[in-house]
Amino acid sequence: MATLPSNSICNLRQIRKPSSEVARPLKMKLLIANRGEIALRIIRTCRKLGVRTVQAYSDPDRDSLPLRYADERYALGGATPSESYLSVEKLVRAALDTGCDAVHPGYGFLAEDSSFVQACEENGLNFIGPSSAALEKLGNKLSAKRTMQEAGVPIIPADGPVKDADDAADVAEKIGYPVILKAVYGGGGRGMRIAKTSDEARRFFRLTKLESLSAFGRGDVYVEKRLISPRHVEIQAVCDKHGKVVSLGERECSIQRRHQKLLEEAPSVAVNEKLRQQLIDAAKKGLSAAGYTNAGTVEFLLDKTGEFYFLEVNKRLQVEHLVTEMTTGIDIVEEQITIASTSSLGISQNEVQVEGWAINCRINAEDARSFAPSPGTVIHYHPPTGPGVRVDSALFSGYTIPEYYDSLVAKLATWGRDRSEAIQRMKVALDEIEIIGVPTTIPLHRLLMRDEGFVAGDFDTTYLNGVLPRMNANLLTLEKFAAVAASTSRIRNPPTTIEHRNGGTLRWRMAAMAEQVRERVGW
Amino acid sequence: MRTYRVQINGREYTTSVDQKGDGTFQVTVDGEVFESEPLTKGNISTWRVRSAEDSINAQTRVLPTDKVDVWLAGTPFQASVQAIGAGGYTIPTQGIGRSHLSGDICAPMPGRITSILVKEGESVDVGTPLLILEAMKMQNEIVSPVAGKVKSILIEEGVVIKKEAVLVIVK
């Protein structure tokens, strides 16, 4: 890893092409069709560029941070996602009512929903993302695979959609166990099941179909070869409307639980210069074949032998985009807006230079062992800062995390001249961050930063499963620390009732209460 | 030294706490030695807790019962803390614990108990020195205002008390 001059230690380095030099001025008014940290992230770039923003919000988000920084606010009404951030009709009306000419969908919710993109296009709204035509080509997992295969990108052997349980077992037999049954229209790590026997293939076909029907509205299932302990590596790209595709390098996202990423970094220890070029070439070919525009990510699985296979395209700004921003100094949201408003990219490939190393820890409001989400009020929040530290979060002291949405409450990212410096900074930042009121994934990240395998870069997508049992021992250790702090707090701040082990409390409490009453009524 | 029975998540720990001269505490939890250093005071106070391997900042909030909320490493804990031994009393504070019942000897000022001069069960007269309370570098002798027997001693040497905390009960 190249060493850098010390003045490059900042959170997001100088944008190579300042916004004032962008070809055309941005006369845009943007509806933010999302919430939380990503809404705030988008608003920040808009304010920098002078783009006016309207924040759409649901009832529970009335007091949320993005509303304070947007130029205007628009109440969607309702609390559940389907009443608010998933309502195509309400969001389009919000944009039109407030005179917006563009919509940024963030990630999740309607970010990859072709009916929403179509509704925007039909109403003359500039959707900050791919066109509905490109979305269609990559619309579901099977059609995306087909598009990639035709473009010459290696894909994991798969077949489907399968008709029924027997068909699923037959196809699985042909492909060879273990296989993974996937919902064709699935996403976000849901609608996937691993089968090791024909019995499981039959059983899981039904389960996956049902799960897919309820979650995605369609029950199509296909069967894919299950790679043993692969790594998850992805290429971030930005594509303009003239067929130019610029790669911003790879990200490593193998630290996952239940197919959901928990920690991401850029670059990847598993990718050498030769492999990097192969991945970038494959990603560019695939995106070009799909006629893709705007920011997109091509995900690959990397097996032990160094072979790679296309996994899927994320057709949106991603949660983990910030690590790429930290290693390239490029504001990806700005590129998205520039592409949407001018058709062209603000950067060219030879301007992109990956420097140093960045790591992102997803801080979720959930139990670190069970991953059970835990909404609640954050009575105190203190984010870490300092050289090479970036926190993307919409938290503040007193904020109540609603039960209706994602459990991600903060993205804590650090940059270092090399991976070990990024890890050291992360250790420090994890010690500094204070989130009081809800359990979070912080103890798991603390454990990872001290974990031999993680520090050595020796891990794959199954790695976290091996770390989790150690979380129990770790939490027992933390419990002892808690016992220490509780005991010393008790010494300095004794309880306000007198307690006796033989039960002498009552008389004293009564006497004290009588005393208080006397004082109050002036006896 | 004070000893507590601490319950967290249904598990029980025995802690022995020693206040050191520099204001930090040495705490033994089931044989393992920790250090706890107070960093900030307030409704929520901050502590640096060190073991042989790790050092973690903890935030605590003492509740009106025997409960203490503790947050550390992004994880909430609720501890129930009960004093063991030495009469089994914890020190009452100004407010609810305040009492003017005759024979309740209260602290006339906040400070630190330097030494206790009597034992439970001992007979005292009016004017018998009971303990020495150090406040603002002054050693203050606290004497008994009544004659009788020392029924309970509610504090220990080395403990810091608030103004009007009940110290000794003479009956």
Following DSSP, what letter does each residue of A269-336 receive, concatenated?
TT--HHHHHHHHHHHHHHHHHTT--EEEEEEEEE-TTS-EEEEEEE-S--TTHHHHHHHH---HHHHH
**Nearest by Cα to A222 from A139, A288, A158, A293:** A158
In this predicted structure, what is the pLDDT of residue B103? Answer: 78
Taking the C-alpha atoms of residue A56 and residue A61, their distance in angstroms, rounded to an integer, is: 9
Q: Where exactly are the structural domains of chain B?
A: 2-84, 89-170
Q: How far apart are CA A513 and CA B98, in angstroms?
A: 10
**C-alpha to C-alpha distance for A322 and A359, rounded to whole angstroms:** 9
B91, A494: Cβ pair inside 8 Å? Answer: yes
Residue A404 · residue A60 · CB < 8 Å: yes
- Nearest-CA distance A106 → chain B (Å): 27
| Least CB–CB distance from A484: residue in B2, B29, B71 | B29
Dihedral sign (CA A428, A433, A439, A441): negative
- Measured between CA atoms, how close is A62 to chain B, in angstroms? 26
CA pair distance A362, A377, nearest whole angstrom: 19
Q: Contact A478/B72, CB-based, under 8 Å?
A: yes
Nearest by CB: A515 against B4, B73, B99: B99
Span B89-170: which CATH code?
2.40.50.100
Phi, psi of B34 (to 5 degrees): -125, 165
| Helix/strand/coil for A216 | helix
B104 - beta bridge partners? B169
Contact of A66 with chain B, judged by CB distance below 8 Å, is answered with no
Name the stretches of chain B with pLDDT < 50: 86-101
Which residue from B88, B81, B89 is spatially nearest to B65, judged by alpha carbons?
Answer: B81
CA separation for the pair B168, B149 (Å, rounded): 11
The amino acid that residue B140 corresponds to is N
Residue in A closest to B31 by C-alpha: A480
Nearest chain B CA: its distance from A276 CA (Å): 36
Contacts A–B by Cβ distance under 8 A: 197
Distance of alpha carbon A441 from alpha carbon A363, whole angstroms? 5
Q: What is the pLDDT of residue A19?
A: 47
* Type of residue at A30: L
Residues in chain B within 8 Å Cβ distance of A509: 96
Asked whether this complex has an ipTM greater than 0.85, the answer is: no
**Residues across chain A:** 523
CA distance B126 to chain A (A): 24
C-alpha distances (whole Å) from A75 to each of A58, A84, A91, A103, A207 are: 6, 9, 10, 16, 38
Nearest to A40 by CA among A92, A138, A106: A106
Q: How far apart are the first and last CA of chain A?
A: 79
User: What's the rounded Cα separation, in Å, for the pair B6 and A46?
Assistant: 52
Which residues numbered 202-241 in A keep a CB inside 8 Å of some CB on B? none
**Dist. CA A54–CA A95, nearest whole Å:** 8
Over residues B108-157, the pLDDT tens digits come to 777 889 889 999 999 988 878 898 888 766 677 788 878 889 999 999 88
Instruction: Per-residue pLDDT tens, chain A, 523 aa: give them.
Output: 444 434 344 444 444 444 444 444 468 999 999 999 999 999 999 999 999 999 999 999 999 999 999 999 999 999 999 999 999 999 999 999 999 999 999 999 999 999 999 999 999 999 999 999 999 889 788 989 999 999 999 999 999 999 999 999 999 999 999 999 999 988 767 788 999 999 999 999 999 998 888 777 888 999 999 999 999 999 999 999 999 999 999 999 999 988 889 999 999 999 999 999 999 999 999 999 999 999 999 999 999 888 999 999 999 999 999 999 999 999 999 999 999 999 999 899 999 999 999 999 999 999 887 888 888 999 999 999 999 999 999 999 999 999 999 899 999 999 999 999 999 999 999 999 999 999 999 999 999 999 999 999 999 999 999 999 999 899 999 999 999 999 999 988 765 444 433 334 444 455 555 555 555 544 3
- Which CATH number, 3.30.700.30, 3.40.50.620, 3.50.50.60, 3.10.105.10, labels domain B2-84? 3.30.700.30
- B44 vs A436: CB contact, 8 Å cut-off? yes
Answer yes or no: do B13 and A483 touch at CB < 8 A. Answer: yes
| Rama region for A457: left / alpha / beta (φ>0; ψ in -120 to 50; rest) | left
Sheet holding A52-57, edge to edge: A72-75, A52-57, A29-32, A102-104, A126-127
> A157-225: what CATH class?
alpha beta
Strand (E) or helix (H) holding A147: helix A141-150
Torsion sign, CA atoms A146, A148, A151, A153: negative
pLDDT of residue B136: 66
Upstream peptide bond of A18 is cis (omega within 30 degrees of 0): no
Question: Which residue in the set B81, B88, B166 is minimally distant from A487, CB to CB?
Answer: B81
**Residue A242's pLDDT is what?**
95
**Residue B41: predicted pLDDT:** 87
Domain boundaries, chain A: 157-225, 491-523
Give pLDDT, residue B138: 66
Measured between alpha carbons, how far is A214 from A33 in angstroms, rounded to an integer?
24
Residues A26/A50, Cβ–Cβ less than 8 Å: yes
Q: Are A425 and A360 in contact (CB under 8 A)?
A: no
CA-nearest residue to B33 within chain A is: A484
In sequence order, the 6+-apart residues with CB closer than 8 A to the CB of A399 are A63, A64, A65, A377, A378, A381
Question: Cis omega (within 30 of 0) on the bond before A178?
Answer: yes
CA torsion A338→A188→A434→A469, rounded to 10°? -150
Q: Which residue of B has its CA nearest to A501?
A: B88
Instruction: Compare CB distances from A482 to B38, B70, B100 and report the shortest one's residue.
Output: B70
Instruction: For residue A151, give the amino acid letter.
Output: A
pTM: 0.80
Output the pLDDT for position A493. 73
Sign, Cα dihedral of A35, A41, A44, A49: negative
- CB contact under 8 Å between B49 and A487, yes or no, is no
* Residue A141 main-chain phi, psi, to 5 deg: -65, -35
